[in-house]
Amino acid sequence: MALIVAITSCPTGIAHTFMAAEGLQRGAESLGHTIKVETQGSVGAENTLTAADIAAAEVVIIAADTKVDLSRFAGKRIYETSTKAAIHDGAAVVKAALEQAKPKAAGSAGPAASADLVDQVAAAKAARAAGVAGPYKHLMTGVSYMLPFVVAGGLLIALAFAFGGIYVYEEANRGTLGWALFQIGGPSAFALMVPILAGFIAFSIADRPGLAPGMIGGMLASSTGSGFLGGILAGFIAGYATLWLNRNLNLPKTLAGLKPVLILPLLSSLFVGLLMVYVIGQPVSSALNALTAWLQSMEQSSALVLGLILGAMMAFDMGGPVNKAAYTFATGLLASQVTTPMAAVMAAGMTPPLGLALASLLFKDRFTAEEREAGKAAAVLGISFITEGAIPFAAKDPFRVIPSIMVGSAVAGALSMVFGATLAVPHGGIFVLPIPNAVGNLPMYIVAILAGTLVTAGMLYVLKRPIAGVSEGRAAVVGQGAAD
């Protein structure tokens, strides 16, 4: 019996983080091992690993879609994978970790030290070999740090409009509460969105030496008008430039201490800054302006198509890379004051668990007792915009559940776009709906969510077959298999 410690983390720090922890817990127990899992969620670390836990552990499992600080695990055997792998087969992850984990080199001064960055490159290669996409993980790290600024900024702007009207930002309203709220939310919180995104993409790639050049590149992306697209490019350029300099710039020992805090940030900032000013800024700004203009001038037919695509993407892998691609696209457009895709994405993300919850309530003969119980939890997750609530159903019956939720989400996304619904914040589910001006065209937006939920439930009724005469336990699964 082995003692294992683990960390789980996902971009939003909500569902995948805790589902991965549960998967690892069950997997370890099924193999006869003891495990302690630290969850790095949206409210910070929970069940934190102590120094004694780490010292006693035989292996460390990192199941994360964002960057996790490994400095406290020097000398320990580490295995890195994704939250998805831990959710789908925790036992396989535990078994692979015990067989394949590699020791982390000791003796580095910390995450910012040169030797540690070289170790990080090796770890990144190992992670990619295990199926974790490096660039995707770096992008999701940036998104995870950016989200609180977008949420806070969007809600403050909505409250500003509620207190002072849609022209609250004008000079005539200076000094009012609405004007103050707008200043906090718009020129302050929202203005940090792109620099934070770029900075933490670079941080994920090159650790702390990449943070300053990434944020500087993000600021230049904002000032040149290249927005979130420019910020993403700046983050990757700054991160990989810093990493390359760290590996190839050899300095005397007397100057080695200056490398992570002075030389690397200075040279990388100079490089990415000049590129943003003279090469990248203007072309990307033109591309972003063209995209923004197209989205703002869409006729209903093109809005319908975009809504269908975004909706289907949100349901396809329920929090995976395709889902996050649609979500990141919509979130990034908030900085350009394009808010209809964000509304479509949230509606489409809510309907899979809501539709499954409704179907398990209305069509009991098509679900086992365990699934009907899970439907209650799925309802809570659905109203909270946690698409991952559909994962347990999809894992058991993917060829019926996934097409059903994709159709329902596509309908919800398309209707939201056609109705012209807008959303000023990137998360919150039904809990942001009562906030004044957070959602535009609220009545029809609710209609879009309800329609997607009903279509999902209807598709499940058509595609899933009754479990003849069996309602619970293992026999229910056998009955479903016989019906198939």
What's the mean pLDDT in 442-470? 89
CB 247 within 8 A of CB 227: no
> What sections of 207-339 are H helices per DSSP?
211-223, 227-248, 253-256, 264-275, 281-296, 300-316, 321-333
Worst-scoring range by mean pLDDT, 115-129, 190-204, 306-320, 373-387? 115-129
pLDDT tens, position by position, 263-298 = 899 999 999 999 999 998 889 888 877 877 776 666
Strand ranges (E), 129-180: none
Instruction: Supply the DSSP symbol for 35.
Output: E
pLDDT of residue 476: 40
Contact by Cβ (8 Å): 199, 254: no
- In the chain, where the domains are located: 3-126, 134-292, 300-483
pLDDT at 109: 36
Q: Which amino acid is at 329?
A: F
**pLDDT tens, position by position, 186-240:** 888 888 988 999 999 999 999 889 999 999 999 999 888 888 888 889 999 999 9
Query: Which residues fall within 8 angstroms of residue 284, CB to CB, at 6 or more apart?
Result: 221, 224, 226, 227, 229, 230, 233
**Alpha-carbon dihedral 59, 65, 68, 74, rounded to 10 degrees:** 30
Token pair in block for residue 446: 């609710």
Q: What is the pTM of this model?
A: 0.67
What are the residue numbers of the active site? 10
What's the pLDDT at 96? 92
Helix, strand, or coil (residue 6): strand
CA dihedral over 136, 137, 143, 146, signed as positive or negative:
negative
Mean pLDDT of 359-376: 86
* pLDDT for 79: 93
According to CATH, the superfamily of the domain at 3-126 is Response regulator (3.40.50.2300)
pLDDT of residue 12: 67
Q: Is the pLDDT of residue 14 over 50?
A: yes
Mean local confidence (pLDDT), 52-73:
89
Higher pLDDT, 415 or 252: 415
Three-state secondary-structure class, residue 33: coil
- Tell me whether residue 105 is exposed, middle or buried, using C-beta atoms within 10 angstroms of its C-beta: 0 to 12, 13 to 18, 19 or more: middle
Any residues with CB less than 8 A from the CB of 342 and at least 6 apart, and which?
Answer: 330, 331, 333, 334, 422, 423, 424, 425, 426
| Strand-pair category, 34-41 with 44-46 | antiparallel
Share of the chain above pLDDT 70, in %: 88
The C-alpha atoms of residue 281 and residue 268 are separated, in whole angstroms, by 17
Average pLDDT over residues 146-168: 80
Query: Comparing C-alpha atoms, which of 202, 214, 332, 199 is closest to residue 273?
Result: 214
